[in-house]
């Protein structure tokens, strides 16, 4: 049975093209977070009226040829799915006149200022949860099949038209033997066709299937949702090098001769078990690791260091031009700690307030850098970050 066209969840956006507010239509951020975030889908007609795509199709195809860019090509021929990983030379990407193919380019915000600016419009969710902006380019009929994500996603139509079918998936089953994670027996209960500027929000666990109606381009704004296993695996791998606390060594003075040499002695097994059960990481250590973990750039990210600049010259330039965060950098703060690209810093109280503003706004203007809070220790940190390519001279866009 055909899924119904929903009007209940639809919101129409204000008519101001280029508005810098969150692209949530007539909903306030508070209302969206309370009623929809991680709860139920939302279709927003003309979320961004007059949206200009961050890249045109030719530019996106050229980006997919870069070794530092993660890209995939999904095709379907006679009902058979195929998946290839990039980089792709432009001639390897099908023409827009061909059917049933999709080019997926991950992390476009890391490489293109316009994509980075578009992603920044979703900073009503904390940066520690915001992941990246992926762009998919498809020929008519193109898609990746019905699937479900473990994270929230906004699907913003940038160019052309795409038909979305959605429905809750309580116990996902996958079609076996495919290179893609395609749902078996997906039963949508709602569907819409999105035009340029329309946007669909989906919480985790909602199945969705998007099919291009003619050539089209869709922006996917994805979010980070670490699992317990992912976080603990990373933390324990680091803690293994220096677990902290006392470091006793097993001893068994007075042991009787072994009658069954192959059996593990009870006292040895009990001691090792107790060491594991009684180990408790220091809370401050866990907290710091969490900050570093959540700001660690993706493995494909690398930074370009600028030409060497003496500290005194850097201070003069920053106080004249301002500073901005490099689009590839991840920055956050918690308590007295500040985190940048997987490293932790402990500025003094005055510097802490200034650097928190930097984290919240991704930039500091020239006047702020002339204030007393911009002390020598703070400028020492900023100079270090600039030398690493993590921040840039010039005002934030």
Q: Using one digit for the tens of pLDDT, what is the confidence trace for 164-194?
A: 999 999 899 999 999 999 999 999 999 999 9
Give the pLDDT of residue 384: 97
Q: Specify the DSSP class assigned to residue 50.
A: T
The conformational region for residue 75 under phi > 0 = left, psi -120 to 50 = alpha, else beta, is beta
Whether the predicted pLDDT of 8 surpasses 60: no
The pTM for the full model equals 0.89
- 139/211 Cα distance (integer angstroms): 9
CATH of domain 226-240+282-396: 3.40.366.30
- Of 255, 222, 337, the C-alpha closest to 289 is 337
CATH topology of domain 29-223: Jelly Rolls (2.60.120)
Give the pLDDT of residue 27: 86
Contacts of 54 (CB under 8 A, 6+ apart): 108, 112, 114, 115, 118, 133, 135, 158, 219
- 253/167 Cα distance (integer angstroms): 66
Alpha-carbon distance values, 240 to 132, 233, 269 (Å):
31, 11, 20
- 377/152 Cα distance (integer angstroms): 39
**Any idea where the domains of the chain sit in the sequence?**
29-223, 226-240+282-396
Whether the predicted pLDDT of 4 surpasses 80: no
């Amino acid at each position: 049975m055909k899924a119904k066209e929903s009007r209940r969840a639809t919101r129409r956006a204000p008519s101001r093209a280029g508005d810098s507010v969150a692209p949530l239509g007539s909903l306030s951020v508070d209302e969206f977070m309370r009623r929809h975030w991680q709860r139920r889908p939302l279709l927003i007609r003309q979320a961004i009226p007059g949206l200009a795509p961050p890249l045109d199709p030719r530019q996106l195809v050229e980006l997919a040829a870069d070794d530092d860019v993660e890209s995939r090509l999904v095709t379907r021929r006679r009902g058979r799915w195929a998946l290839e990983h990039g980089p792709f030379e432009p001639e390897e990407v099908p023409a827009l006149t061909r059917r049933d193919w999709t080019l997926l380019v991950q992390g476009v915000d890391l490489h293109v200022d316009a994509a980075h600016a578009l992603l920044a419009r979703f900073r009503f969710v904390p940066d520690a949860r915001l992941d990246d902006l992926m762009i998919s380019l498809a020929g008519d009929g193109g898609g990746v099949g019905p699937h479900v994500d473990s994270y929230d996603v906004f699907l913003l139509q940038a160019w052309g038209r795409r038909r979305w079918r959605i429905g809750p998936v309580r116990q996902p089953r996958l079609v076996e033997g495919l290179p893609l994670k395609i749902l078996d027996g997906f039963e949508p209960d709602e569907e819409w066709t999105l035009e340029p500027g329309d946007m669909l929000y989906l919480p985790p666990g909602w199945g969705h299937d998007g099919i291009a109606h003619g050539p089209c381009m869709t922006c996917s704004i994805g979010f980070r949702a670490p699992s317990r296993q992912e976080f603990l695996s990373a933390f324990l791998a680091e803690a293994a090098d220096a677990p902290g606390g006392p470091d006793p060594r097993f001893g068994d003075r007075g042991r009787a001769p072994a009658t069954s040499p192959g059996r593990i002695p009870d006292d040895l097994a009990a001691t090792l078990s107790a060491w594991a059960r009684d180990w408790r990481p220091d809370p401050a250590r866990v907290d710091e690791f969490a900050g570093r973990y959540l700001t660690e750039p993706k493995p494909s990210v690398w930074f370009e260091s600028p030409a060497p600049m003496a500290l005194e010259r850097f201070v003069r330039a920053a106080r004249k031009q301002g500073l901005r965060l490099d689009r590839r950098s991840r920055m956050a703060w918690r308590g007295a700690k500040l985190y940048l690209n997987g490293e932790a810093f402990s500025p003094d109280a005055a510097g802490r307030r200034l650097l928190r503003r930097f984290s919240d706004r991704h930039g500091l203007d020239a006047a702020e850098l002339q204030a007393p809070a911009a002390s020598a220790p703070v400028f020492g940190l900023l100079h270090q970050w600039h030398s690493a390519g993590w921040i840039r001279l010039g005002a934030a866009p």
